[in-house]
Amino acid sequence: MIRRPTIHDVAAAAGLSKSTVSLVLQGSPAVHANTRMLVRKTMADLGYVYNRAAAGLRSAKVGLIGLVINDLRNPFFTEFATSVQMALSARGYATVIANTDEDPVVQAQVIGSMIEHGVSALVISPTYGAPDAFAPVQVPTLQVLRHLHPDTQRFPFSAPDFALGSRIATLHLLAAGARNIAFAGGLPGRAITVERMQGYVDVMQENNLSTLALPGRASRAFGRQVARTLARDHGAVDAVLCFNDLTALGILAGCAELGRAVGREFRVVGCDDIEECLQSFPNLTSLRCDIAGFGCQTAATLLDWLENGVSPQPETRTPISLVCRASSP
C-alpha cells in the first residue's frame, strides 16, 4: 500500500516547521505570503490532501503560544506578559499564560502541560532551581529576563543590560555627591542578583569606595524594612540603589514613616521604571528597560524563528537608561 503524505512530510520537504505548515492550512494571516506559496507548491508536488474535518478536531492547538512567567504579581512582569500577548494576538496567535510564583515544581508542571496541549512555541521567564524543566521541550523556546538553562543555542536568552544599568545609576549617584551607597534587594547567589549588582560593585571599587549589600526578597515590605535598617545601623549611607522598583517604593514608604526626607540628603534609585514610579512621592528615579518594547521584540523574534526558521542569537542584551526624578536630583 502506498503511504499518503502527511503534514510532517510537507514540513520536511518545505524546510519548515509543522506549526508553520499548520498555520498555512488554517489560513492564518500571520504567515508570510512567500511561505504560503512554498507550502502550497510543496503540497501539490507531494500530492498532499488537507483533511479539514480531522484538522478541526485539532484547531485549538494551532497557533498557540505558551508564556510562562515567574511572578505576575510584579508589575514589571505583568507589563512584559501583556506586551508579548498583544503582539502575538496582532499576528493571529493565541497565548496561554501561566504564573509559576517562583516555584520550580509549578514551573515544571505548567511547561509539561503546555507541551501536552500542543503549543507551537514557548516564552519562559524562569524561576530558579529547575533547568531540567526545559528537558522535554521540542518547540522554539526563548528564555527571557532571567538566564536559567545553560544551552542558549537551544534556548536563546534575552534581557535588558542590567549590569550596565546599575553602572549608569551608580555613576549618577556619585556625580550627585553621594559616597556611601548601598545596594538593596535580591536574593544572594542568584544570577539575576549578581547581574543587577555588577555595575554598582565595579564602579564603587573603581572609586575606592566601600560597598554595602542588603539582600532580601525584592518587595515593598522588604524595602520598608531596609529603610529602618539604614536609619538604625547605617546612618552614614547617603544613597541606595535598589534591585527593583518595588524595593525602592518600599524604601520611600519606610522613610516617610520615619520622617526622613528623600532627595538631596538621601537619594533612592530603583530599577525597571514601572508606572508607579511617577505616582510615588517623591517621584522615583529608575532605570528604564522599555519593558513594553522588549515584550514586542520578544514576540517578533519568536515568530521569526517559528515562521521563517530564523534562529535568534544565543544571547541578546537590550539598552537600558536612567530616568532622573525627585528621589535623586
| Stronger pLDDT, 68 or 51, i.e. the higher one | 68
Count CA within 13 A, CB hemisphere, residue 26: 23
CA 34 to CA 52: how far, in whole Å? 22
Helices (H) and strands (E) in the chain, counts: 11, 12
The domains of the chain are located at 7-56, 63-159+291-318, 162-290
pLDDT, average across residues 209-234? 97
For residue 63, which of 16, 30, 32, 98 has the smallest C-alpha distance?
30
Q: Tell me which amino acid residue 141 is.
A: T
pLDDT, position 14? 92
pLDDT, average across residues 297-308? 93
* pLDDT > 80? residue 44: yes
Q: Is 326 exposed, middle or buried (0-12, 13-18, 19+ CB in 10 A)?
A: middle
In whole numbers, what is the pLDDT of the chain averaged over residues?
A: 91
CA 312 to CA 158: how far, in whole Å? 9
* pLDDT > 60? residue 241: yes
* pLDDT > 50? residue 48: yes
The 10s digit of each residue's pLDDT in 10-34 is 889 999 988 888 888 877 767 788 8
**Range of weakest confidence among 91-105, 118-132, 167-181, 213-227:** 118-132
pLDDT, position 52? 52
pLDDT, position 60? 42
In a 3-state reduction of DSSP, which class is residue 240?
Answer: strand
Distances (CA, A) of 94 to 19, 59, 63, 219, 298: 13, 12, 6, 32, 15
* pLDDT > 60? residue 56: no
**Range of weakest confidence among 36-45, 97-106, 235-244, 288-297:** 36-45
CA 87 to CA 300: how far, in whole Å? 8
pLDDT, position 57? 37
Fold that domain 63-159+291-318 belongs to in CATH:
Rossmann fold (3.40.50)
Write the CATH number of the domain with boundaries 162-290: 3.40.50.2300
Describe the strand order of the beta sheet including 64-69 as a list of residue ranges.
Answer: 94-99, 64-69, 121-125, 141-144, 157-160, 315-318
> Which secondary structure element, helix H or strand E, spans residue 95, and what is its range?
strand 94-99
* pLDDT > 50? residue 149: yes
Q: Is 148 exposed, middle or buried (0-12, 13-18, 19+ CB in 10 A)?
A: buried
The 10s digit of each residue's pLDDT in 273-301 is 999 999 999 999 999 999 999 999 999 99
Please state the φ and ψ torsions of residue 2, each to the nearest 5 degrees: -80, 130
Q: Tell me which amino acid residue 93 is.
A: Y
Residue 63: pLDDT band with limits 50, 70, 90: confident
Architecture of the domain whose range is 7-56? Orthogonal Bundle (1.10)
Contact in structure between 108 and 137 (CB atoms under 8 Å): no
The 10s digit of each residue's pLDDT in 97-125 is 999 999 999 999 999 889 888 899 999 99
pLDDT, position 61? 43
The 10s digit of each residue's pLDDT in 120-145 is 999 999 998 877 778 778 889 999 99
Topology alike, domains 7-56 and 63-159+291-318: no
